[in-house]
Amino acid sequence: MKPPAILPKNWRPVSRRFLTAAPELVAPQLLGKILAHNTSAGWIAGRIVEVEAYLGPHITTTPDPAAHSFRGVTPRNRVMFGPPGHAYVYFIYGMYFCMNVTCEPEGKAGCILIRALEPVLNREAMAINRNLPATALEARLTGGPGILCKALAITRPEDNGLDLLDADSPLQLRQDSYTPGPVEITPRIGIRHAADLPLRFTLANHPCVSRVPKSKFLIKPAHS
């Protein structure tokens, strides 16, 4: 099948105003949105099913030393301090790229890590990018922050700083008529600092979520 040259017409752009709120408020509302990347194999896209919020350094009541912005602006994290709706991509463990969505007004440096996707477009290309058979389980394709970037061919050199809300951008954040179900809130995972903060949000019982939490509670989603 020839890969699509354009995104489906019912995938609407996400408004920038939606992303000007604090990360702990935006994060659960990102669940169900679509992350799409235009690659040499055509558009590849997945529905967001797991995220983590990271607080900006202006938050003094609940410091977040796990956030890359905690110690201020650096060449690595400069995108975080820019306007909302941009991709902050970083390299970790010498082998993985991870992608965040910037939020809050410029200078605040709120950010949301995309931790897992459900494949919705060009699954075949995802499997090739992950060096997996076409029959691989969806969770193996995009069930983690590093592997979803590999599946969608997202890298720091090519994609860091891109405007996710620009209709001409090769990396975009879109939404459709999908209505998320209950949302689970848990502590963040895979970090050492401020690991107890309940800032990880997942679609409840979704098979593509990267890890089943030890403790959690449910909320009803607030639709944007």
Q: Cα separation of 40 and 3, whole Å?
A: 9
Helix (H, G, I), strand (E, B) or coil at 116: strand
Which pLDDT tens digit goes with each residue over 104-131?
999 999 999 999 999 999 999 999 999 9
Residue-range domain boundaries for the chain: 16-219
Which pLDDT tens digit goes with each residue over 2-56?
566 689 999 999 999 999 999 999 999 999 999 999 999 999 999 999 999 999 9
Q: Cα separation of 154 and 179, whole Å?
A: 26
The rounded Cα 113 to chain-centroid distance in angstroms is: 5
Residue type, 132: L
Residue 1: per-residue pLDDT: 52
Which pLDDT tens digit goes with each residue over 59-90?
888 889 999 999 999 999 999 999 999 999 99
Other C-beta atoms lying within 10 Å of the C-beta of residue 54: 27
Q: Cα separation of 67 and 44, whole Å?
A: 28
Question: In CATH, what is the architecture of 16-219?
Answer: Roll (3.10)
Please indicate, yes or no, whether the overall pTM of this predicted structure exceeds 0.85: yes
Identify the CA nearest to 164 among candidates 52, 50, 70, 45.
45
